[in-house]
Amino acid sequence: MSNQLDHEEISSNLEFLDDWEDRYRYLIELGEKLPPMDESDRIDDNKVNGCVSQVWLSTRARTENGVNHIHMSADSDAMIVKGLVAVLMAYYSGKPAEWIASNDAGTLFDELGLREHLTSQRANGLNAMIKKIRSLAREYI
């Protein structure tokens, strides 16, 4: 198991941060703690289309009790986007492919009040990341 936070812990931490600036700083901190992505995974096939920033996403499946669990690594060249990626990794990575394919992390960002503070370009990029993650998960079902 990695040392990254789970999405419940991230949600709990964000509840204490009323100010958007504090939430913004927290997202940047989460991005800084994201485990480094292997350089061999920084290829065009792993780029997320639809993001203004560069975002790479790599998935691998591990079969546990006959079920494919998807483990991800990701990175971005933009600090705030890297934080959004960290939240997505906490939400999705390690979960069964079927669960990932049927769960939209966009609702999590709405519940956390994060999406409302994103520029339209970042919100579109977030949607593109979620769409790619769920699409990749469907390939493992």
What residues act catalytically?
Answer: 51
Question: Which residue's entry shows tokens 């639809």?
Answer: 50
Radius of gyration of the chain (CA): 14
Question: Which residue's entry shows tokens 């975002």?
Answer: 55
